[in-house]
Every structure is written in structure tokens, then in C-alpha cells.
């Protein structure tokens, strides 16, 4: 049995979230906040439809989607107003897992064939609202896309017989029995539409109903029961928490049985507070949630290691990690690229806030954006010239100059290395 996903959809019109394709009643002025709400409360993916017609509105929607991607922790599929390869590129660079090509439009076959060669079929989905296009272009869809999004209820058994491409159903039905029927179809990997996209949708509760219907939903499942763990006298097990990307150790906390299963159920790190003697979801008051990437147990079964996607700072002091107070030795790794970049960035930011006489960095900030951009351009040219010479040392030197000036620009624009890393990871 394949795992099924709950995938709310957001329809964007004039920068706002509206009700449906043909109903532009505003349901949320803040489409970014709506996307974050879905992500924080148990949705597995997100579909975004850009309902704009004009190019300038389309560009505004792309910018909105980019900002959406910065606050969500789930994959995103984006479609609507895709007319050319450049539109697909913009959508993928905005952070979408897939760009969705509408097969009810002319030239869609040529568009997706070219896009599959350029970006790969795993980056593409197709949207359909009838069977004709599927029957007519099934081989193209099979060869050039990795997902089909059907716009309403259809004969799902026929879909399975025509194609092996996984399907997501976007339906307007609000009947749970009908939704269960759709999810039970072997060809369906996800459910979307009006019911799943309710602003106050309780994804966890609906997944429990699906489980009662023997529908296996995408969720975490422990390979061991909590009773198999070696706990202390209070029935607690320590949890070492680590950032899944940087591998930095963030904190140490404890779980009891209830906290463990709540973590498994919701995908948010949940602990037991020994001082308050109660459960607490990390980030419930601060917004600094920890989303589970993996849970492992040590050889003695008495300590858990949680790799998480950390929102904001892990420590209540505002520090990124709770382990920030040195006692002995020096653990600074001068070869860690991210630490070096962040150290130089921090120095530049400090110069901006606390100017130092004679500082070249302050000279750049005083001269302003035009001077900084001129230097970035000059240093980029120096990199190109150095690369034409046989000595790689010149390239190393010029790249270092370029990166420094680029960081000055980053500080000026309020862009952090975390922003850059997330952008690259999304791509």
C-alpha cells in the first residue's frame, strides 16, 4: 500500500488567496501566512495556482511564491500562467519542487518536452481537467513529467489503467466518504481541493480518520515502541537535538512516552518539561518550531538523536544553539566554510552598525549602493581575467575579493548566508 498525502492548494489572484479557480472571493489577505499555517499544522505538500493573466501580475505572483517558500517546511508545486520556458525557470528558482504545465492549453506538449530536456522530468507536473489530453498525450506525460494533477473528480480506475504517473486529485467535494474513496485508489498519491484547503483544516485529525479507514498516510512511524527504550526513574529518555543541515548540536531535552508519540504523530519536536512537569511543543510560544527530519537511538537504547529543521534560534536566550558558553579549549574550525563566511559576514555587519575610522568596509557603506555595485562588478571581471591565466592562485585571490564585496552587498540588503543556503538547497 502506498503512502497518501494531504495537499492543500492556494489560488493567488492580485496577491491574495482566493476561494477557487472561478471564485475569486478572498479567503486570506495574507497568502504567505496561509501557506505557513498549512505547513505548521500537518500538510504534506502545497499546490499553488497563479490565476494572473498579465505578465506584471505573474511576476508579482512569482515574488509572492518565493516569499512563501521561505516560511514553509513542505514541498511546493506551482502552476498557472506558464507560457514559456522562462516561466518554468522562474517557478523552479522561486523554490517550487515542480512546475505544473496546463495540458488544456495549446503548445503545452512542445513546452513540456523542451522543459523536460532542460530541467528534467522530476521537476515537472501536468494539470488536466479531462481524459482527452491524457489519452492523446499519455506517452508525452509519462516521459516528461513526474506527477499528474487532476482538477476534479474523475473515474480514477481509468486513470490507473492509462498511466503509471502518480496522481493528485483536486476536488470540490466536501463529503468525507468521497474523499476516502479517492484516497483508496491505487493511482492516487495525494488529495487536494476545497476540503483539504480549509483555512482551519485539522490535518492530524483527518489523517487519524484516514487511518481508521485503512488508508496509510504519509507520517513518521517508529521502528520501536517506547516501552523498548531504557528510560530513567521518571520514565524519561534524553534527546540530543542536531540541525539536519549544519550538524550543529542545538540542545538537550527529555521525552516521556506521550511526548515521543506526539512527536511521531505531528512531526514537531515535543518534550517533557521536568521543571513544569508537563508536555511542551518546542516553539509553541516563540514560533521557533523544530520539524523532525529523523529520529535514531543509540546502541544502548537510552538516548535519542533528533535531526531537525530548526526555525529561528534553538535557545531561549536567542542564541542559535544552547551550547554557546565556552569552558575550556577552542572548538573553532577554521576550515569550516560556513563558519568562515558567517564570521566575515558578522564583521561586516558590525562595521555597518559600529563604524570604525579608516575601515574600508565603512568607506563602502558611506559611498552607498552604486559604489558597492561598481566594486562587485569590477571584482567579477577580475575573476574572469584571472581564470584565463594558468595560475589557479590568481583565481583563488580574486574570488576571495569578489566574495567579500558580495557580502558587503548582502549586509546592505539584509540578506544572510542562511538565506543563500536555503535558496541553493531549494534549487
Q: Looking at the domain assignment, is residue 107 inside a domain?
A: yes
| Calpha distance 246→242 (Å, rounded) | 8
Q: Looking at the domain assignment, is residue 219 inside a domain?
A: no
| Calpha distance 369→10 (Å, rounded) | 37
- Domain at 387, CATH number: 1.10.287.1080
The three grid cell numbers given for residue 252, joined into one nine-digit string: 538537550
- Residues 287, 341 share a domain: no
pTM value is 0.71
End-to-end CA distance of the chain: 31
- Residues 244, 163 share a domain: no
Q: Looking at the domain assignment, is residue 220 inside a domain?
A: no
**Per-residue buried b or exposed e for 363-394, using 16+ beta carbons within 10 Å of the residue's own CB:** ebbeeeeeebeebbeebeebbeebeeeeeeeb
Contact between 294 and 307 (Cβ < 8 Å): yes
- Residues 344, 290 share a domain: no
Structural domain total, the chain? 3
Q: Which of 310, 328, 362 is the last residue of a domain?
A: 310
- Residues 184, 65 share a domain: yes
Task: Residue 356: give the domain boundaries.
Answer: 337-426
For the chain, 427 residues long, give each residue's pLDDT as a single digit of tens: 468 999 999 999 999 999 998 899 999 999 999 999 999 888 999 999 999 988 889 999 999 999 999 888 888 999 999 999 999 999 999 989 999 999 878 789 999 999 999 999 999 999 988 777 777 788 898 999 999 998 765 556 655 566 778 889 999 999 999 999 999 988 889 999 999 999 999 998 999 899 899 998 877 778 788 999 999 999 999 999 999 888 889 999 999 999 999 998 888 999 999 999 999 999 999 989 999 989 999 999 999 999 998 988 999 998 899 998 888 876 655 566 777 888 899 999 999 999 998 899 999 999 999 999 999 999 999 999 999 988 888 899 999 999 999 999 999 999 998 888 877 776 6
Amino acid at each position: 500500500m502506498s503512502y497518501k498525502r494531504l495537499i492543500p492548494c492556494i489560488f493567488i489572484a492580485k496577491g491574495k488567496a482566493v476561494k477557487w479557480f472561478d471564485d475569486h472571493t478572498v479567503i486570506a489577505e495574507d497568502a504567505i501566512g496561509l501557506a505557513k499555517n498549512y505547513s505548521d499544522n500537518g500538510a504534506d505538500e502545497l499546490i499553488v495556482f497563479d490565476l494572473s493573466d498579465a505578465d506584471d501580475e505573474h511576476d508579482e505572483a512569482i515574488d509572492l511564491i518565493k516569499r512563501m517558500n521561505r516560511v514553509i517546511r513542505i514541498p511546493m508545486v506551482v502552476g498557472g500562467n506558464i507560457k514559456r520556458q522562462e516561466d518554468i525557470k522562474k517557478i523552479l528558482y522561486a523554490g517550487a519542487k515542480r512546475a505544473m504545465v496546463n495540458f488544456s492549453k495549446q503548445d503545452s506538449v512542445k513546452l513540456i518536452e523542451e522543459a523536460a530536456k532542460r530541467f528534467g522530468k522530476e521537476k515537472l507536473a501536468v494539470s488536466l481537467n479531462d481524459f482527452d489530453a491524457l489519452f492523446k498525450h499519455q506517452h508525452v506525460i509519462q516521459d516528461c513529467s513526474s506527477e499528474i494533477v487532476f482538477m476534479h473528480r474523475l473515474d480514477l480506475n481509468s486513470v490507473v489503467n492509462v498511466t503509471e504517473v502518480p496522481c493528485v486529485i483536486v476536488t470540490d467535494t466536501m463529503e468525507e466518504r468521497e474523499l476516502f474513496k479517492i484516497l483508496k485508489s491505487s493511482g492516487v498519491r495525494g488529495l487536494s481541493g476545497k476540503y483539504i484547503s480549509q483555512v482551519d483544516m485539522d490535518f492530524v485529525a483527518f489523517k487519524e480518520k484516514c487511518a481508521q479507514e485503512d488508508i496509510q498516510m504519509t507520517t513518521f512511524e517508529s521502528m520501536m515502541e517506547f516501552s523498548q527504550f531504557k528510560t530513567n526513574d521518571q520514565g524519561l529518555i534524553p534527546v540530543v537535538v542536531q540541525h539536519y543541515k549544519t550538524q550543529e548540536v542545538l540542545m538537550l531535552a527529555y521525552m516521556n512516552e506521550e511526548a515521543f508519540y506526539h512527536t511521531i504523530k505531528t512531526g514537531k519536536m515535543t518534550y517533557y518539561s521536568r521543571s513544569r512537569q508537563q508536555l511542551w511543543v518546542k516553539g509553541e510560544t516563540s514560533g521557533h518550531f523544530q520539524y523532525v527530519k529523523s529520529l535514531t537511538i543509540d546502541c544502548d537504547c537510552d538516548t535519542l538523536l533528533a535531526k531537525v529543521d530548526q526555525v529561528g534560534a534553538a535557545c531561549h536566550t536567542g542564541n542559535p544553539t544552547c551550547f554557546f558558553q565556552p569552558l575550556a579549549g577552542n572548538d573553532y574550525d577554521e576550515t569550516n566554510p560556513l563558519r568562515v563566511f558567517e564570521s566575515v559576514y558578522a564583521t561586516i555587519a558590525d562595521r555597518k552598525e559600529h563604524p570604525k575610522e579608516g575601515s574600508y568596509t565603512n568607506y563602502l557603506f558611506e559611498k552607498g549602493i552604486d559604489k558597492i555595485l561598481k566594486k562587485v562588478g569590477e571584482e567579477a571581471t577580475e575573476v574572469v581575467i584571472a581564470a584565463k591565466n594558468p595560475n589557479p592562485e590568481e583565481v583563488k585571490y580574486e574570488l576571495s575579493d569578489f566574495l567579500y564585496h558580495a557580502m558587503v552587498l548582502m549586509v546592505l540588503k539584509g540578506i544572510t548566508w542562511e538565506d543563500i543556503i536555503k535558496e541553493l538547497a531549494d534549487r
